A and B are shown apart, each in its own frame.
Chain A
Amino acid sequence: MRSYLLTTAAAAALALAMNTGASAAGWDGADDLPTSPLACDASAPAAPAAKPYDGGKAVNAPDKAGKEISVVDVPKLIGIGYFNATSKGIADAAKDLGNVKVKTDGPTEAKIDEQIKFIDNYITSGVDGILFAANDPVAIAPVLKKALSKGIHVVGYDANSTPDAREWFVNQAEFNGIAKAMMDSMAKEAGEDAAFGIVTSTFTTPNQARWIAEMQAYGAKCHPKMKWLETVEAQEDNVLSFNQATTLLNKYGDKIKGLFGMTSVATPAGAEAVTKAGLCGKVAEVGLATPNAMKPYVHSGCVKSVVLWNPIDLGYAAMYVMRAVVDGKLKAGDASVDAGKLGKLNVVNGSEILLGAPYIYSKDNIDKFDF
């Protein structure tokens, strides 16, 4: 009993001791790495190609420039909406190109050992190119290198391998691009002077920490009057995300005008919290999420923008990059590549192709996606 009271007392003491801790310079949940905020207007300048090409090379690949090629796409797993969408994009691109035979095949579970087996089988059966989204960046490297050594072209998308195990990787979104889309959406919906809170997974989760740091940098540059209130952790837990979002709404009352969801779990849970609190239209929920989870809130009008990339475009770009590599139109040192209806895409980070600005899902387009 005494220990119990002691604990309570200690908690109370802690409460008072830590109360001043929130006014630090960096937002909670941001990392300390250097940031590179994009320009405030829409013109995203091409990032300077500071890094030399660090991808691999297909050894003695037969010259099939302009000729029909057969390509296999091995995503992390098949049968889920997300990779159905990338697969559709790849097929669309093959149709637009007219000289590619492509098929998507892969494990039904996101397991690296299965994925390796699939790729190995296709190396044996003989293809001209392999597209992949890796279940594990390191574990997949040997089998991809084997493909390269047999003259098969290798291009990744969505989830990278170590750079030297493939030729190019189509990067769906860079941190500063996501950050810009998030902050711009929030400013548009909640106002240039809005105060907002953030629900993230944990303060140390790498991707989220990067996004938050870039959001802070971009916000300081382009939306200086917006006010960050607080970041709360919610793991990747549905109900905890809801509870934490609700707590923020209750804590700040009329002061809070916006909520960011930094994970695909936190965003729908935040939207639910805003809905249940009867604050739709008063508090803007903006975040990273997949369309299916957000459809109820987008349809009800409670959520206006869901930030992500478009997986159909991602697959489309990957196929065009593959064709360009085979045709010799994308070589080490090039600054951009032509990607059909997507236009010119920039080369970043040595051997990556940036898909472009993130995609904003809204009432008008969200029903076209099923993942």
Chain B
Amino acid sequence: MDVQHLETAEQQDTDWLSPTAALTQFLPLETEVSTDNLIAHTETVFGFRVGSLGFLVNSDTYCEVIEQLKVNPLPNVEPWFGGLLNLRGNLVPVIDLQLLLGETSTIDRKTRQLFAIGQGDKAMAFWIDGLPEVQRAFSQPLKQLPPLPAILQHCVSNSYLHEGQIWFNVQFDELFKTLGNRGSGL
């Protein structure tokens, strides 16, 4: 792959390729490509469920399951804003996605886990059902996104169907921004 890439670069110096040829010949270096949209190429991803929805997190995204930490509730905020966690000196907002997305399926609150995505002050924690699972390579994304709750529409890049469960590839940065805007509006 490297050789081809170099050849392309050499040709650029001497004789320009036609745009289409350039596009077809071009091969990015694997290590340099962000995996956000190329989830199909990655080996493993983490999946977690909230109600009927499944969400995927890239394995290179920092995330952790949090145990034995108390969620400190806040007054005068939206019900889905569960409160704040003191995670190693950083305040991490806790979001109840089920309440936020209006998911109705009943789940056992005792089996819920706190799952933090991101690091430092850029982290957010979600209540998830059970523990996250390791998912193996999905083949092809769905051609069209299934109907989504409004808040997720800008944050989901593609989706996959796997054993009857729809998994959404979420851009968490976008989701956090949307949640931040919603939360801050109060």
Pair from one complex: no
